[in-house]
Amino acid sequence: MDCPYCKEEMETGKVCSNSGLWWSCEGEKLTLNDEPKMIGAINGYRITAYRCKKCGKIIILTGGNHE
């Protein structure tokens, strides 16, 4: 994936949390987790993300397969 800010190639990794990880706005709550529900509850949440080493942005795509 190319960075939408500087156009450099981004590296794929995971954003991790030992507990829950979510995005919230005006009463809406979106859980950020690629792990199966029980695995996430036991091992913590993880979601695929893309990091740009040049400009320091991390991009998280939600809602399905991002490969």
- Look at residue 67 and tell me whether its pLDDT is greater than 60: no
pLDDT of residue 57: 97
Q: Is residue 25 part of a domain?
A: yes
Q: Is residue 4 part of a domain?
A: no
pLDDT of residue 65: 56
pLDDT of residue 38: 83
pLDDT of residue 66: 55
Q: Is residue 15 part of a domain?
A: yes
Higher pLDDT: 25 or 64? It is 25
Does the predicted TM-score (pTM) go above 0.75?
Answer: yes
Q: Is residue 39 part of a domain?
A: yes
Q: Is residue 66 part of a domain?
A: no
Q: Is residue 54 part of a domain?
A: yes
Residue 22 belongs to domain spanning: 11-59
* Total count of domains within the chain: 1
Full DSSP string of 4-50: TTT-PBPEEEEEEESS--EEEETTEEEE---S-HHHHHHH-EEEEEE
Q: Is residue 5 part of a domain?
A: no
The mean per-residue pLDDT over the stretch 29-52 comes to 89
